[in-house]
Amino acid sequence: LDLYTFGQVISMASLRFGQHLITSSQIFFQSSLSFAFVNIRPVVLGHVLVAPKRLVKRFAGLTQEEITDLFINSQRVCATVERAYNATSCTIAIQDGHDAGQTVEHVHVHIVPRRSGDFKRYDDVYDKINECESSLDSWQRTARSEQDMNEEASHLAAMLKQ
């Protein structure tokens, strides 16, 4: 599968996200140190994740180079998601550790496109993220079909080219 990575086309393989395997068809971006993929159970349409390629459980375990790469690419993904979903803002969140709501022990950034009135209170998005994260009975849940996730990933990869 060929996808766009800010200036060049690359071939992609499946990557690990904690104990889970993210298929190449769900990944829409990767750099040498991080990757972005669609969310199996998004809070809103366009809710995606950006993670380092190296399995690191907590934010403090990232190298300076990984932090820089993760945040530069989160910024790029956020701009793309806003454009792709006609959003006016983004919520960008990291749940760092179990007591912060992290359910997959792999650092990851939530990128959630936002619009006026999408939640009753602006901060309700955090409750929704926690609700979705804590309701994970199994990674194999079928909240979204493979086809839906693959189509979204293809759409976002194409948007990165623009």
133-154: string of b/e by CB count within 10 Å (b at 16+)? beeeeeeeeeeeeeeebbebbe
What is the structure's pLDDT at 150?
A: 87
What is the structure's pLDDT at 101?
A: 86
Name the strand (E) or helix (H) holding 71.
helix 64-84
| Rounded (10°) angle between helices 146-160 and 64-84 | 100
Residues 6+ apart with CB under 8 A from 14: 21, 22, 23, 24, 27
Q: State the catalytic residues.
A: 108
At 10, list the tokens.
Answer: 């690359």
Task: For 2-160, give the CATH class.
Answer: alpha beta
**Per-residue pLDDT tens digits of the chain, which is 162 residues long:** 334 444 443 446 889 999 899 999 999 999 999 999 999 888 888 999 999 999 999 999 999 999 999 999 999 999 999 999 999 999 999 999 999 989 899 999 999 999 888 877 777 787 777 776 655 444 433 467 888 888 888 889 988 887
What is the structure's pLDDT at 133?
A: 61
Instruction: Look up the pTM and report it.
Output: 0.82
Query: Residue 137 has what DSSP assignment?
Result: S
- 107, exposed or middle or buried, with CB in 10 Å at 0-12, 13-18, 19+? buried
Q: Distance between CA 11 and CA 2 in Å, rounded?
A: 5
What is the structure's pLDDT at 41?
A: 84
What is the structure's pLDDT at 137?
A: 45
What is the structure's pLDDT at 162?
A: 75
108: left (phi over 0), alpha (psi -120 to 50) or beta: beta
What is the structure's pLDDT at 141?
A: 36
